[in-house]
């Protein structure tokens, strides 16, 4: 298993982020240039869930595990997690990538993102 420092060495940066009230906080290793998906499935459309995907090994929840709740529907594969206090969806487990996380770029702290390229995808 690679250490998280090894991911930083490979040209990835450590982003931090979380929910609005601060109860949920995480770190994630990803490029400074993000490739963000704009999905048109029913829930992504309703909650404007633009996200980029990382493997689970590059995500670490720093605080808030007991302040998260999860919404599922249909196949129940996607785990739509959000803060119980403020309701912000800062990350989730996508149906298309159940071994990874979809991270909301707008929930990242300032200073580590250089560019964002958005791609529309058909999730219907």
Predicted TM-score (pTM) above 0.75: yes
| Long-range residue pairs from 4-13, CB within 8 A, at least 24 positions apart, any chain | 4/29, 4/57, 4/58, 4/60, 7/57, 7/58, 12/58, 13/112
* Per-residue confidence (pLDDT) for residue 41, from 0 to 100: 78
Kindly report the CATH class assigned to 4-121: mainly beta
DSSP-assigned beta bridge partners for residue 53: 102
Average pLDDT over residues 56-84: 88
22-53 confidence digits (pLDDT tens):
999 999 999 999 999 988 878 778 888 899 99
Q: Indicate the domain borders of the chain.
A: 4-121
pLDDT at res. 1? 44
The pLDDT tens digits of the residues spanning 98-116 come to 789 999 999 999 999 999 9
């Amino acid at each position: 298993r690679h250490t998280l420092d090894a991911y930083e060495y490979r040209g990835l940066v450590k982003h931090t982020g979380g929910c609005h009230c601060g109860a949920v906080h995480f770190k994630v290793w990803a490029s400074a240039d993000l490739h963000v998906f704009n999905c048109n499935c029913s829930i992504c459309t309703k909650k404007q869930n633009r996200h980029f995907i990382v493997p689970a090994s590059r995500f670490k929840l720093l605080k808030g595990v007991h302040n998260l709740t999860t919404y599922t529907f249909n196949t129940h594969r996607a785990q739509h997690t959000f803060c119980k206090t403020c309701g912000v969806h800062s990350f989730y487990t996508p149906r298309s990538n159940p071994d990874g996380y979809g991270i909301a770029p707008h929930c990242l702290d300032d200073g580590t993102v250089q560019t964002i390229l958005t791609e529309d995808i058909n999730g219907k």
